[in-house]
A and B are shown apart, each in its own frame.
Chain A
Amino acid sequence: QPQLQESGPGRVKPSETLSLTCTVSGGSLNRNNYFWGWIRQPPGKGLEWIGSISYSGSTFYSPSLESRVTISEDTSKNQFSLKVRSVTAADTAVYYCVRIRIIPIRGVGDHVDYWGQGTLVTVSS
């Protein structure tokens, strides 16, 4: 069973770039039928999908964040990363890294089966 751990600064200044890394243990990033992604949750609010990276390195982003977000991977370290550019106070949230199980069976679909513990990032000067 994989374990995911987020790391990165807990505070970022407005207009700067938020950078987080997720270290995966107990599972390979290159394993077929699994994507790796990021979800965030502003304080007291619901969950927002950010994007994901596939086992082959393809990336997919939420349309609302696509212009400011980059997800990348370092398979040698079994890590994947998130960058959010030009942050504002609205980007303040708990950021979760997740594993997405891809099930290519009609009617079944994908789901998040493992989550990191989450890390709070505050955008403030």
Chain B
Amino acid sequence: DIQMTQSPSSLSASVGDRVTITCRASQSISTYLNWYQQKPGKAPTLLIYAASTLQSGVPSRFSGSGSVTAFTLTISSVQPEDFATYYCQQSQSTPLYTFGQGTKLEIK
């Protein structure tokens, strides 16, 4: 099984800060990496797929990069509505997928 590890597990930021979340795969997954955002009590929503492709409708302050085993999700200027939990997900082993454990972004 491909294991996905996110860091940090949680972080605090102020509105306007630049934030970076890291996701590492236990083996090479090329660019088969997706990012989701989940707000409390809601289903997750897709932010980025194929490591760096922004889903339609997602603000451009979100960006993704990386390949092979190391990936990052960056929010260039955090907005109040961005405080949420973020998950990475690999699709290399399609159609069996695994998620990272999540990173909770909190207001400082």
Cβ of A47 and Cβ of B99 under 8 Å apart? yes
Which chain B residues lie closer than 8 Å to A109 at the CB level? 31-34, 49-50, 91-92, 94
Q: Does A80 contact B (CB under 8 A)?
A: no
Number of interface residues of A (CB under 8 A): 26
Q: Measured between C-beta atoms, what is the minimum distance from B6 to chain A in Å?
A: 9
Given A107-B32, A109-B32, residue A49 in contact with residue B97 (CB < 8 A): yes
Report A85-107 CB contacts with B as 1/0, cut-off 8 Å.
00000000000100010110001
Q: Does A110 contact B (CB under 8 A)?
A: yes
Report B20-55 CB contacts with A as 1/0, cut-off 8 Å.
000000000011111010100011111001100101
Q: Which of A7-15, A17-25, A115-123 contacts B (4 or more CB under 8 A)?
A: A115-123
Please tell me which one of the listed residues A102, A113, A118 contacts residue B46 in the complex, with CB atoms under 8 A apart.
A113
Number of interface residues of B (CB under 8 A): 30
Cβ of A110 and Cβ of B95 under 8 Å apart? yes
Which chain A residues lie closer than 8 Å to B63 at the CB level? none
Please tell me which one of the listed residues A48, A110, A112 contacts residue B94 in the complex, with CB atoms under 8 A apart.
A110
Cβ of B102 and Cβ of A54 under 8 Å apart? no
Q: Does A46 contact B (CB under 8 A)?
A: yes
Q: How far is the CA of A113 from the CA of B91 in the complex (A)?
A: 13
Q: How far is the CA of A54 from the CA of B95 in the complex (A)?
A: 9
Q: Does A52 contact B (CB under 8 A)?
A: yes
Q: How far is the CA of A107 from the CA of B102 in the complex (A)?
A: 23
Cβ of B95 and Cβ of A100 under 8 Å apart? yes
Q: How far is the CA of A47 from the CA of B42 in the complex (A)?
A: 13
Which chain A residues lie closer than 8 Å to B98 at the CB level? 49
A-B contacts besides A111-B49, A117-B43, 12 pairs, CB < 8 Å: A46-B101, A47-B36, A47-B89, A60-B96, A96-B43, A107-B30, A107-B32, A109-B32, A110-B95, A111-B89, A112-B34, A112-B46
